[in-house]
Amino acid sequence: MPEFCDVALAVPLDMVFTYRVPADAAPVVGGRVLVPFRQQRMTGVVVELHDHEPSVATKKLISVLDSAPVLDQVLLRLARWIANYYLAPLGEVCRSMLPLMAEFKRAVGYRIGEAGEMALHLAGMSGSSARSRRSPQEQAVEFQVLDYMAGTSGELVRETTLRSATHASRKILQGMVRKKWLVREDLSAPQEANRTVKVALLKSVDRKLNQNQRTLVESLAGCGGKLPIEHLQGLAVPRTTLGTLVKRGLVEIAEEPADFKVSGARPRPSPFDFDFTPAQQSALARLRQAVEARSFSGMLMHGVTGSGKTAVYLAGMRAVLEAGRSAILLVPEIGLTPAVAADLHQIFGDEVAILHSALTDRERAEQWHRIKSGDARIVVGTRSAVFAPVGDLALIIVDEEHDSSYKQEETPRYHARDIAVMRAKMCNAVVVLGSATPSLESYFNARQSKYALIELPDRVEKRPLPEVAIVDMRLEFQETGHEQVISRTLASEIKDRIERREQVMVLLNRRGYSPVVLCRTCGKKLECNNCAIALTHHKREHRMICHYCGYTAAVPNACAHCGSEYVYFLGTGSEKLEELLHGMFPQARIARLDRDTVRGHQDFERTLSALNEGELDVLVGTQMIAKGHDIHGVTLVGVVGADVALGLPDFRAAERTFQLLTQVAGRAGRGQSPGKVILQTYFQDHYAVQYAARHDFIGFYEKELQFRSWMHYPPYSALANVLVRSDQLDDALEWSGRLGKWFNQTRHEGVRVLGPAAAPIMRLKRDYRYHFVLKSPSREKLNTTLRSMLAYAAQQKIPRTQVIVDMDALWLM
């Protein structure tokens, strides 16, 4: 056995740590070990075993957690690639690849220190010290703790035991550790995987329920009367509500096997119910051929909305499964509804593992074990499912590959689509990127023959794409004499549909009631305390809310700056739009879908299935309504404020607007009756609006590519955003200044550096923010420059967590 092992730990440092291997331990590369790190115990992944004694003293590892690798060779190679490409610490990369944290139980113990024994002794002689700044209550608790510890004859006492015996807060214990009265020890240890979950069972229903109780009971009833307790904690009701219901005998708590599935959604007709079009057949044939070749190939499947891409994916995955191999399907956050899960279970049975954001840590770990053991060979999931430990991977599909939820906005800031391509390369698999509105990067790559391009140009069953009419809102203002939210055209079309018993979707991509509160006397906006962002008025909650950090404030009667009573609520969000529509069409059944009405995936599913069953006439919502839903009764889509994004200082604004407009328009006319789209805009001449109205992706692509080429933006340049942040303005200014000077004084051939400049959102979540934008036609040069910048920052003692490198950044805000 080698004497040493290098371990990647999830700490913000760009290095691995060397530990000595005890004689009786047998760590494996790719397996986890428990090691001492600073004053605690941590788990890390072994990345190398060797015999080179480091120059500094090494500690021994505490124990080996896995006798076989949890990250196989390919995944470990992928981890190194990600750490290098995204300039992220390897340990943090490994942590996001492994959902196994739930199997590691954190625990802390204390023993009494010499200073503690002395303090107890002195207190016994003369009472407590009069000079202390602590309150008498705090002192009383401290002595109670010492007294308790003295009775344990120097033994280690677990924090939980100590706290329940003495009612000492964590803060008090921490203070005692600082005074060396107590010695703290980390007792964290691996935990036996718990194979059961606690579930709540609905027994009976009583009429006399309060609002919270009703919410809970309805959620249970909506899912077949049974839900894991952890899911109920996602509901906005107090924890005591469940206890009350149990006491009243309405709900019972029971244990279920951990792989218990949430039921409730009815499977829809099988996606194989209709005949494949020739285009679908040929796409499937090319996909199967590539898989059989057992070498890497990439495909971009560009299919208009409603062209049946999903059916091709599922048929391809079924073929892979029949060949005894594995496949991964990635979907955007919002794409994985219980209805989709029900479809997948119907097609793949127990061979499918589904990974979504509503899973608890333990459920996620359970799914991980099913995949690792080979019980589940088909994996469907959001972003991190790209790391699923499947064996013999044949196919990875990235559905809606342009979707921004594939980019992780915290360290490591990876893009799951790009990881999918890299993983497929490393294991000779096929990767398929699918979208009606491919990202500029992917379409560019297809044009450069990096990917094979597969086109699905028509909708299934020869259904036409919807007709799109643009309403110029400047003209609407001139003709009606006042600012309109819903134009006369849109209003009359909605009225028509309601009368014909057809359904309508209206998109306004901004939630809340009014996005801006303005003082007419001093002109100031009401801003968040933590961010340089206007607070949004939410009428139902009667609060002002920051959409970036969640800060809330009371709805003002007077200006916070000058005291004037002339405060005005301006603009329209989805909540107000819903109210306006109720006013205009009092007889219509209207619902809203946005982050305020959707608290859990059940709410989302409930609203969509109500629309599907014809129980709704109009659905209002944010971009949530634009994505992938296949509702046949919708014949009209109205877009209100289509161009909000076009006003943002962001080079991807046109691309995002084009994608959103095309996607939402794609919701119309998916059934027997043809669809229509009314697009209200203040920028009717903007090419993103014009090409979306004509369903002309290629036209948009060519035009946008010209702009990107002139401005040296992706796909012509690699781009990175470097953010320097601190809750102290002086630090943020000084650090970004120092880095700016360094960029100026050092030669970086072939790399353009812009900045430092205040970030467009200058303050966010209490941090002041400055940034640099770096562009280069050479990824390698860009990577080298950033790496030396980080080394310089470390040398200057700028904390690693305060300098964020975002490679291939999607947002420069």
Tell how far CA 709 is from the center of its chain. 31
Chosen residue from 548, 682, 792, 811 binding Zn ion by CB under 5 A: 548
Contact region for Zn ion (CB under 5 A) — 36-44, 480-488, 540-548, 593-601?
540-548
270 near Zn ion, rule: CB under 5 A: no
Q: Of 510, 492, 536, 535, give the one whose Cα is nearest residue 643.
A: 510
In this complex, which beta carbon is closest to Zn ion, that of residue 385 or of residue 559? 559
112 near Zn ion, rule: CB under 5 A: no
Contacts of 252 (CB under 8 A, 6+ apart): 200, 201, 203, 246
How many CB atoms within 10 Å of residue 487?
21
In this complex, which beta carbon is closest to Zn ion, that of residue 402 or of residue 763? 763
Return d(Cα 798, Cα 753) in angstroms, integer: 20
Backbone angles phi, psi at 144, to 5 degrees: -65, -40
Token look-up 């194989």 returns 272
Backbone angles phi, psi at 369, to 5 degrees: -65, -35
526 near Zn ion, rule: CB under 5 A: no
In this complex, which beta carbon is closest to Zn ion, that of residue 548 or of residue 707? 548
* Least Cβ distance, residue 534 to Zn ion (angstroms): 10
Token look-up 């920028």 returns 683
Token look-up 């801003």 returns 527
546 near Zn ion, rule: CB under 5 A: yes
Number of residues forming the site for Zn ion (CB under 5 A) = 14
559 near Zn ion, rule: CB under 5 A: yes
531 near Zn ion, rule: CB under 5 A: yes
In this complex, which beta carbon is closest to Zn ion, that of residue 504 or of residue 764? 764
Tell me the chain's radius of gyration from C-alpha atoms: 29
Chosen residue from 521, 552, 778, 802 binding Zn ion by CB under 5 A: 521
Tell me the two tokens of residue 654. 């046109």
Return d(Cα 556, Cα 533) in angstroms, integer: 16
In this complex, which beta carbon is closest to Zn ion, that of residue 520 or of residue 694? 520
552 near Zn ion, rule: CB under 5 A: no
Contact region for Zn ion (CB under 5 A) — 555-563, 617-625, 640-648, 803-811?
555-563
519 near Zn ion, rule: CB under 5 A: yes
Return d(Cα 33, Cα 709) in angstroms, integer: 48
Chosen residue from 194, 564, 728, 796 binding Zn ion by CB under 5 A: 564
Chosen residue from 94, 528, 616, 642 binding Zn ion by CB under 5 A: 528
Contact region for Zn ion (CB under 5 A) — 182-190, 378-386, 500-508, 548-556?
548-556
Q: Which amino acid is at 79?
A: A
* Least Cβ distance, residue 526 to Zn ion (angstroms): 9
558 near Zn ion, rule: CB under 5 A: no
Contact region for Zn ion (CB under 5 A) — 163-171, 241-249, 309-317, 526-534?
526-534
Chosen residue from 107, 485, 549, 553 binding Zn ion by CB under 5 A: 549
Please tell me whether the peptide bond between 715 and the residue prior to it is cis, using omega within 30 degrees of 0: yes
Expressed in angstroms, the distance from the first to the final Cα of the chain is 51
522 near Zn ion, rule: CB under 5 A: yes
188 near Zn ion, rule: CB under 5 A: no
* Least Cβ distance, residue 362 to Zn ion (angstroms): 32
Q: Of 721, 801, 712, give the one whose Cα is nearest residue 761.
A: 721
* Least Cβ distance, residue 761 to Zn ion (angstroms): 10
In this complex, which beta carbon is closest to Zn ion, that of residue 212 or of residue 530? 530
Tell me the two tokens of residue 467. 């007709």
565 near Zn ion, rule: CB under 5 A: no
Residues in the chain, total: 813
* C-beta separation of 111 from 185 below 8 A: yes
In this complex, which beta carbon is closest to Zn ion, that of residue 232 or of residue 567? 567
* Least Cβ distance, residue 767 to Zn ion (angstroms): 11
* Least Cβ distance, residue 409 to Zn ion (angstroms): 16
Backbone angles phi, psi at 772, to 5 degrees: -120, 145
Strand order through the sheet with 767-776:
752-764, 767-776, 718-726, 803-807
CA distances from 655 to 399, 403, 437, 658 (A): 18, 11, 9, 5
The H-or-E segment that residue 589 falls in is: none
In this complex, which beta carbon is closest to Zn ion, that of residue 163 or of residue 524? 524
**Going residue by residue from 472 to 511, which x/- string records binding to Zn ion, judged by CB under 5 A?**
----------------------------------------
Token look-up 């549909």 returns 497
Interaction site with Zn ion (CB under 5 A): 519, 521-522, 528, 530-531, 546, 548-549, 551, 559, 561-562, 564
